[in-house]
């Protein structure tokens, strides 16, 4: 994916699957926990639509690589809880640098 | 098809229909629980209400099918007890069995569609660009 430029936003959608790779259900009564490996690069905010499996990330003014992860509860019954963590591809965050510009003239 | 065979078919259908009805009832209870406690805000109430209504319809269909099966079974039971197996409506009753089987298949499809999804053991995070935030 292209560089994640400062101030831009990305949508991170967690797509749970079962052991066969098919779509699966999580227990949302325990809130999914979202995290950024380097939180100085990307800040996360909940999805405005209220979907617990979606977060909106905003790139900060710093350059580096990081990942976004989501941990959710897949425990469907009594017994040992089974937390599952899925992680995004590496997000390369960059602050845009100047590559050109113009000078405008104005009579005073 | 002999009367005994028809009766056996009906009893098998009745047993299976009762299993389907119990299964649908369990799932409906779970769906209502979700709605009451709002455990799944990702699913809208409208969507959940439609799913619950589907279950209500499925259970009603299964109940009707079981009642029809029991009526046919009772009728044949009486006939068998009286020792007159040459009942003239055998073909019609075999048709009833076929209808019940068709209903059962339809119910099975509905249940398969609405059964809870398997639990998650993994997954991925999809990344998409968002439009610029509004100022």
CA distance to partner chain B, nearest, from residue A22 (Å): 9
Q: How many CB pairs under 8 A join A and B?
A: 104
Asked if the interface predicted TM-score (ipTM) of this complex is over 0.85, the answer is no
pLDDT of chain B, 135 residues: tens digit per residue: 555 666 666 667 667 666 766 766 666 666 665 554 444 444 555 665 666 676 667 667 667 766 776 777 677 666 555 544 444 455 555 566 666 666 666 666 655 555 566 778 889 999 999 886 666
Tell me the per-residue pLDDT of A39-49, one tens digit each, with 9 for 90 and over.
999 999 999 98
Q: Which residue has the tokens 């292209």?
A: A2
CA distance to partner chain B, nearest, from residue A100 (Å): 22
Q: Which residue has the tokens 């905003």?
A: A58
Higher pLDDT, A59 or B35: A59
* CA closest to B116 among chain A residues: A25
Are the C-beta atoms of residues A81 and A98 closer than 8 Å to each other?
Answer: no
In terms of Cβ atoms closer than 10 Å to its own Cβ (0-12, 13-18, 19+), residue A64 is middle
CA angle B62/B87/B96 to nearest 5° reads 20
pLDDT of A77 above 90: no
Which pLDDT score is estimated for A96?
Answer: 73
Spatial distance between the Cα atoms of A76 and A82, rounded to a whole number of angstroms: 9
Contact B118/A at CB under 8 A: yes
DSSP E strands in chain B: the ranges are 122-129
Which residues from chain B sit within 8 angstroms of residue A91, using beta carbons? 127
0.90 exceeded by pTM:
no
Query: B127–A12: do the CB atoms touch at under 8 Å?
Result: yes
């Amino acid at each position: 994916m292209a560089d994640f430029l400062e101030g831009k936003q990305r949508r991170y959608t967690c797509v749970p699957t079962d052991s066969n790779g098919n779509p699966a259900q999580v227990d949302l009564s325990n809130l999914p926990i979202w995290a950024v490996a380097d939180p100085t690069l990307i800040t996360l905010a909940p999805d405005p639509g209220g979907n617990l499996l979606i977060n909106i990330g905003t790139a900060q003014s710093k350059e580096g690589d990081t990942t976004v992860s989501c941990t959710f509860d897949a425990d469907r019954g009594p017994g040992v809880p089974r937390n599952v963590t899925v992680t995004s591809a590496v997000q390369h965050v960059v602050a845009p640098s100047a590559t050109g510009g113009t000078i405008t003239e104005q009579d005073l | 098809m002999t009367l005994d065979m028809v009766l056996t078919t009906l009893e098998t259908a009745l047993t299976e229909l009762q299993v389907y009805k119990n299964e649908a009832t369990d799932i409906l209870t779970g769906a209502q629980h979700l709605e009451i406690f709002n455990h799944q805000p990702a699913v809208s109430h409208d969507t959940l209400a439609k799913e619950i209504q589907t279950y209500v319809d499925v259970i009603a269909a299964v109940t009707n099918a079981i009642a029809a099966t029991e009526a046919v079974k009772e009728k044949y039971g009486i006939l068998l007890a009286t020792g007159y197996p040459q009942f003239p409506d055998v073909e019609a009753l075999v048709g009833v069995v076929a209808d019940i089987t068709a209903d059962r298949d339809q119910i099975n499809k509905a249940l398969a569609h609405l059964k809870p999804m398997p639990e998650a053991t993994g997954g991925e995070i999809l990344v998409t660009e968002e439009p610029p935030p509004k100022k």
